[in-house]
Amino acid sequence: MRRFTIDPGNESWRNSEDFRAAVTAIRNGLLVAVPTETVYGLAADATNALACASIYAAKGRPSFNPLIAHVASLEDAERHGVFDERARKLAAAFWPGPLTIVVEKRPDSPIADLATAGLQTVALRVPAAAAMRALAADSGCPIAAPSANRSGRISATTADAVIEDLRDSLAVVIDAGATPVGVESTIVECVGPRPRLLRPGGVPTNEIEAVLGETFQAAAPNDTAPTAPGMLTSHYAPAARMRLDAKSVRPGEALLAFGLPLPPGSEQAMAVENLSESADLTEAAARLFSALRRLDATGAKAIAATPIPRTGLGEAINDRLRRAAAPRPQENAT
Ligand code: TXA
Ligand code: MG
């Protein structure tokens, strides 16, 4: 495994031998861990079915769960999917950035059926993070990349967290430090008569609705026929039990706090992580997954999480916490 560090603010790495090695690895069907602005991705050539199969194998992900294809521009995205007026509006407003748009897949798109899990739609994203865009542009391949974590576990926002989960599967790891947004992209489907929100994420729902000029229908999570299979109820699961909307800390619990003051019982918590002392939702999103990983590593049996407002990025944060807290009948989430 080759690991190297890049400065996200200075693209001189693009001509480095290290980055060329990452591009070559993608062309050769190998797996590369790549930072995006949301979370780290486990990247492979989306047109190479074998490479996509090795993503599923590395993650231990059920094969019905389709992958997002990352591309460098809207023009590239339109080679793979059919963009109607709504999809174009969203792309113009939010790309590059943490929005994934699900559209009808073009029959002549070279993206492997395994990457889209046999669906007639394809999820496309132009990320803000330069490394992922450069990888797509320089390899000439759309890049299939799920979050770089074992299936059902906490998403990775640092290169160390990626390596902890996936060490044996990676040819190259690109380290750009902690990812700035910290929760995955928002997913919007522009296929039927009305756009649907499939997953809340890095772009707040109300900002998307404002651009579309219409509101979303509520999408009900359904474990047997997932529309965005990442909507499987149990997801992002730490080993510890999660207790949400906690007003106090019970003996033996670790604390995931938001804002100050800390709740009663905090003094005897096994460990404390405050997502944002100033109750800032953007800061909290950026810290969420690494804080969960650190609390889980303490071996606490349970993690008490204080309430977090549901506005703006709070919707995505609450969504992830609910899934982390859900009962875990099977190990079958992304
Ligand atoms: O921020 C992100 O979106 C990160 C970074 C790496 O880009 N990626 C990510 O991928 O979160 P993943 O695989 O963990 O989640 C992708 C979600 C899954 O829930 C999957 O079911 C859904 O996208 N998805 C992919 N293709 C779809 C499609 N054609 N229709 C509906 N949902 C789709
Ligand atoms: Mg994921």
pLDDT of residue 114: 86
Please give the model's pTM, rounded to 2 decimal places: 0.88
Contacts of 151 (CB under 8 A, 6+ apart): 59, 60, 61, 62, 331, 332, 333, 334
CA distance 85 to 228: 22
- Give yes or no: residues 251 and 161 share one domain: no
Last residue of a domain, one of 231, 256, 282: 231
Q: Look at residue 234 and tell me whether its pLDDT is greater than 90.
A: no
Within-domain flag for 218 = yes
CA distance 133 to 129: 7
Average pLDDT over residues 216-239: 60
Higher pLDDT, 151 or 226: 151
Last residue of a domain, one of 170, 203, 231: 231
CA distance 130 to 216: 30
Higher pLDDT, 218 or 20: 20
Q: Which residues surround ligand 2, an ion (CB under 5 A)?
A: 147, 334
Is the beta carbon of 179 within 6 A of some atom in ligand 1? no
Write down the mean pLDDT value for the chain. Answer: 92
Within-domain flag for 278 = yes
- The CA–CA distances, whole Å, from 288 to 39, 83, 91, 155, 239 equal 11, 33, 27, 9, 16
- Give yes or no: residues 34 and 135 share one domain: yes
pLDDT of residue 222: 45
Helix and strand counts by DSSP (H, E) for the chain: 9, 15
How confident is the model over 69-109, as pLDDT tens digits?
999 999 999 999 999 999 999 999 999 999 999 999 999 99
- Give yes or no: residues 197 and 289 share one domain: no
Q: How confident is the model at residue 57 (pLDDT cuts 50, 70, 90)?
A: confident
User: Where is average pLDDT lowest: 139-143, 259-263, 287-291?
Assistant: 287-291
| Interface ipTM above 0.85 | yes
Q: How many structural domains does the chain have?
A: 2
Q: Look at residue 228 and tell me whether its pLDDT is greater than 60.
A: no
Residues 288/183, Cβ–Cβ less than 8 Å: yes
pLDDT of residue 63: 67
By residue count, the chain amounts to: 334
Within-domain flag for 82 = yes
Beta bridge partners of residue 99, listed in sequence order: 186
Rounded distance from Cα 186 to ligand 1 centre (Å)? 9
CA distance 66 to 69: 10
Rounded distance from Cα 244 to ligand 2 centre (Å)? 21
List the structure tokens of 138. Answer: 């320089």
pLDDT of residue 219: 54
Within-domain flag for 80 = yes
Q: Look at residue 330 and tell me whether its pLDDT is greater than 80.
A: no
- Give yes or no: residues 142 and 254 share one domain: no
Last residue of a domain, one of 178, 206, 231: 231
Residue list, annotated binding site for ATP:
61, 65, 121, 147, 155, 199, 236
pLDDT of residue 201: 97
Q: How confident is the model at residue 306 (pLDDT cuts 50, 70, 90)?
A: very high
Average pLDDT over residues 281-294: 91
Atom of ligand 1 nearest to the CA of 65: 21
CA distance 288 to 303: 13
Average pLDDT over residues 238-243: 92
pLDDT of residue 332: 43
pLDDT of residue 292: 94
pLDDT of residue 170: 98
Residue found under tokens 């999660």: 242
Is the beta carbon of 229 within 6 A of some atom in ligand 1? yes
CATH of the domain at 312: 3.40.50.11030
pLDDT of residue 232: 53
- Give yes or no: residues 281 and 226 share one domain: no
Q: Which domain holds residue 286?
A: 241-325
Higher pLDDT, 220 or 55: 55
Rounded distance from Cα 184 to ligand 1 centre (Å)? 8
Q: Look at residue 66 and tell me whether its pLDDT is greater than 50.
A: yes
Average pLDDT over residues 177-185: 97
- Give yes or no: residues 291 and 225 share one domain: no
In the chain, the percentage of residues whose pLDDT exceeds 90 is 81
Q: How confident is the model at residue 44 (pLDDT cuts 50, 70, 90)?
A: very high
Average pLDDT over residues 192-215: 95
Give the Cβ contact number of residue 20 at 10 Å: 12
CATH of the domain at 174: 3.90.870.10
Within-domain flag for 108 = yes
pLDDT of residue 328: 73
Within-domain flag for 86 = yes
pLDDT of residue 61: 77
Average pLDDT over residues 188-207: 95
Give start and end residues of each alpha helix (H) in the chain. Answer: 17-27, 49-59, 74-77, 85-94, 130-139, 159-166, 205-212, 281-297, 314-325
